[in-house]
Amino acid sequence: MESKLKELTERLYGEGLEKGRAEAERLVADAKAEAAKIVADAKAEAAAIVKAAESKAADTAKNSMTEITLAGKQALAKIKSEIAEAIIARSVSSSVKEATVDAAFVKSLLLAVAANWNNCGSKVELKAMLPAALESDFSKVFEASAKELLAAGIEVGYSDEVRNGFKVAEKDGGYYIAFTEESFEALMGEYLREKVSTLLFA
């Protein structure tokens, strides 16, 4: 009886031990599987983060290059424009200044203005106001051309308010047209801008 009890105890102990080992092995295997899954998930997440970061970096680099290219084009266009403006200003400014103090040139402009003004309808009488500071220079030329100017319907006067160029108005009208250095420069600059750009940058 004692030997059977001992045998039964040993057998129960052996079975318990075997079950314990099996359970331990199962727990270890489960833990390893869970660890492997955690590692795999972590690697996948890390790979996704790296991929997203690389994609964002690529987008940032692309956007930066686009902005840099655009800024470069804008800077180049601005430089070209400033070069053209400087050339136009230098070439136009002195020429216009000389032209607006040239009595013969101003006289021819006045005659052209009168001819075009009168082509628009009935003949009108015009009054031209010139810089008072240039009266002595202009008077010589205009006195010699007085008949021509009067025939065109232009009366010439001088005013301290006119600093350069001249103003033209209908004799009894309430408005005038100013032909100043600035307006001539603007007109010539607009005309020359395209030509200068083509010569410099085409």
What single-letter DSSP state applies at residue 129?
A: E
Within-domain flag for 160? yes
Within-domain flag for 99? yes
For all residues of the chain together, what is the average pLDDT?
77
Within-domain flag for 69? no
The CATH number assigned to the domain holding 101 equals 3.30.2320.30
Which carries the bigger pLDDT value, residue 141 or residue 199? Answer: 141
Within-domain flag for 133? yes
Within-domain flag for 29? no
Report the range of poorest mean pLDDT among 55-64, 94-103, 111-120.
Answer: 94-103
13 token code pair: 């102990």
Mind listing the pLDDT tens digit for each residue in 129-139?
A: 888 888 887 88
Euclidean distance between CA atoms 185 and 201, whole angstroms: 22
For the full predicted model, state whether its pTM sits above 0.75: no
**pLDDT category of residue 20 using cuts at 50, 70 and 90:** confident
Largest CA distance in the chain: 161
Beta carbons of 99 and 184 less than 8 angstroms apart: yes
Number of domains in the chain: 1
Within-domain flag for 81? no
Residues linked to residue 7 through DSSP beta bridges, in sequence order: none
Euclidean distance between CA atoms 73 and 196, whole angstroms: 19
A 10 A CB-CB count for 113 gives 18
Q: At what angle do helices 135-144 and 103-119 cross, to 10 degrees?
A: 60
| pLDDT at residue 61 tops 80 | yes
Residue 156 φ/ψ, nearest 5 degrees:
-105, 135
Range of the domain at 169: 93-201
Within-domain flag for 185? yes
**pLDDT category of residue 75 using cuts at 50, 70 and 90:** confident
136 token code pair: 């002595």
Q: Which whole number is the average pLDDT over 186-195?
A: 70
Within-domain flag for 13? no
Mind listing the pLDDT tens digit for each residue in 91-106?
A: 666 666 666 667 788 8
